[in-house]
Structure 1
């Protein structure tokens, strides 16, 4: 926001930032707003049918996938970095253990493909099945196969 890259509306609606009277972020109100965004996301999310797609992790190390997932091969666990919920083991397909919310591209804010989107694309949000924390966000063409990945570290 300080550089003007995010509008005040997007700061609140998309990122959950609540501003104090002096223009600074109100940390307590922002956390409450973000918790409400996660609750609403989870309320609208459904179980994922992964089809042939697989998201799994190989190796013997501990990995952190952004602020969303912690992967620990020794503990045989892929957990939510926000709430600690255990989704599955690292070698398991993570997708069936998450939830998915499909929405129009416009829900990501302005200038997100409206010039070429005529209803063929959706914003696919994958989230923790327990708390609604975002794991991944994808622009998905209707009918296109899901992306998949296998990450590994030693």
Structure 2
């Protein structure tokens, strides 16, 4: 079952995997970003397609742009803006038990 453009949920195995290459990342209840390859950089790395980050987020020098990739094939799963010491956002939380009920 597709849960995001490049992420699948295997309901039987209860795991999350890359739709591009099939690499299993983690159990369905875990944060896939914790098992992804992560690149961090300044908020300006978001590129010109975004509103200027400092306009949206202010001039906080501790903000960073995080990108999350498949550790096997390198496809980009997601990105987020965060302070350097913030935990990785757990943005997809699946109720696997509720799906099988």
Shorter-chain TM-score: what band?
0.7 to 0.9
Where does residue 52 of structure 2 map in the other structure? 112
1:99 aligned to 37, 40, 48, which one?
Answer: 37
Any conservation in 2 of the 1:99–1:127 contact (CA below 8 Å)? yes
The superposition leaves residues 57-90 of structure 1 with CA deviations (integer Å, 9 ceiling, x where unpaired) of xxxxx3x222110001213331101111111232
Q: Structure 1 residue 151 and structure 2 residue 94: aligned?
A: yes
TM-score, length of structure 2 as denominator length: 0.73
TM-score, length of structure 1 as denominator length: 0.51
Q: Structure 1 residue 75 and structure 2 residue 13: aligned?
A: yes
Distance (Å, rounded) in 2 between the aligned partners of 1:88 and 1:133 = 16
Q: In the TM superposition, what is the alpha-carbon distance from 1:93 to its structure 2 partner?
A: 4.4
Q: Structure 1 residue 128 and structure 2 residue 36: aligned?
A: no
Distance (Å, rounded) in 2 between the aligned partners of 1:93 and 1:141 = 18
Any conservation in 2 of the 1:67–1:82 contact (CA below 8 Å)? no
Distance (Å, rounded) in 2 between the aligned partners of 1:108 and 1:83 = 25
Larger Rg: 1
Gap change, CA 1:145 and 1:86, over 3 Å in 2: closer
Gap change, CA 1:81 and 1:112, over 3 Å in 2: farther
Q: In the TM superposition, what is the alpha-carbon distance from 1:140 to its structure 2 partner?
A: 0.8
Extract unaligned runs of 5+ from structure 2: none
Moved beyond 3 Å, runs of 4+:
none
